[in-house]
Amino acid sequence: MENKKPLLPHNKWLHLPSELHEKIFALLPIAAITRCRAVCHTWRSILLSPPFLQHWARIAAPIPWFLMFRDHKFRAYSPALGTWHDIPAVNPSDHALDLTCIVASAGGLLFLSSQKKKKGSPPLLLVCNPLTKSCRILPGLSRITLIYVMGMMESGWNSYKILVAGVASSSSQELITEIYDSASGGWECQSSARLDAFQDFSGMRAVWSDGFFYCLSVPPYKLVAYDMGKRSWITLDHAQQLPALAIPNLASASLLVCRGRLVMAAKITGAAASKRVRIWEFDAQSCHWKDAIANSDPVLQEFCKCVSYFMALQRPRGLDSVCFNSWCRWRTLMYDVSQKKWHWLPEHCGRFKDMLSGLTYEPTFLARA
């Protein structure tokens, strides 16, 4: 049998017009594009060129990932491909860092907090795009030395703001709030408040929704919000406003953002028959919570024993999902809020089985730290 000749000789691929290369590559998923960059110098130069990035921006659809992390190990799940992908860790070579933690994501960028290896030194704050390896080390905070709350928001095209709240010293009773603006490249002290309402917020992450940074304390749960317009903190911890104060045996509560609305997901512990997941949506007009789902499906009975973390995923055309993460068997269950359907995500590599936390990340080649 004669060997069939290839439709196009191998060496002919090398002489395709660069415009055609750009159009072909731009149709690939982001994870495939990042792998293609490692094939050869020619492909890498094409995939890093401004013409390719401009063409990719015109046709690429924003499809967020679930990003999991722990101790420098990052993995992302792509709903479009149904697979997990390695994300390169960011560790600037001129700084000795330890215990990198991803605090938040916005506009295709990650906000990280890395403890310097020298004991007693304040954490190093940095913003990066792991796909382009663009990284910005933020300047030191003006007054804060002990951080309680951190958050990030997108403030415009290729611009962002970061919130950090904490105290000037361990003995201080004044909560200081500082805001970093990428446009100005500096910190601004915006407000101060009494510390007594924030004693249980050490290391908490704030989520951004409709003009406010919201954060939830460790049990007993308290909900507070920072109004960016009024530059002040407000407390929302009344029983009619926060389900956690009215429902016993609530655990693993997490704040999420779905369809642009603030959501709280939690599991109810206690007797085996009563274990279930509940999700509430916050009505900012009435400052009340309403049930989004209260599921007691048998598929969750075993899963609820180990649920440790929840994530929200904003998907194209308004389709939202909530990810339920299990620490005992490393199973991840996704709930589609719009279609009210459950499905399991594929398991990933054994070395990532102990990763417990994560967030939503929208990958892009255009965001600059």
Domain spans, the chain: 9-60, 61-361
Whether the CA torsion 285, 359, 33, 350 is positive or negative: it is: negative
CATH second-level architecture of 61-361?
6 Propeller (2.120)
pLDDT at 184: 93
d(CA 293, CA 340): 9
d(CA 277, CA 57): 39
Ranges of the chain whose pLDDT falls below 50? 1, 239, 273, 316-319, 350-356
Strands (E) located in 195-317: 204-205, 207-209, 212-216, 223-227, 232-235, 250-258, 261-268, 276-283, 288-295, 307-314
- Tokens 């792509």 sit on residue: 78
303 in Cβ contact with 309 (< 8 Å): no
d(CA 63, CA 256): 18
Q: Quick one: tokens of 80?
A: 């479009």
pLDDT at 356: 47
Taking every pair of Cα atoms in the chain, the longest distance, rounded to a whole number of angstroms, is 85
Displacement of CA 268 from its chain's centroid (Å): 24
Nearest CA to 241 out of 266, 217, 224, 258 is that of 224
Q: Within 10 Å of residue 289's Cβ, how many Cβ atoms?
A: 22
pLDDT at 250: 72
d(CA 357, CA 49): 34
pLDDT at 164: 93
151 in Cβ contact with 215 (< 8 Å): yes
d(CA 236, CA 32): 44
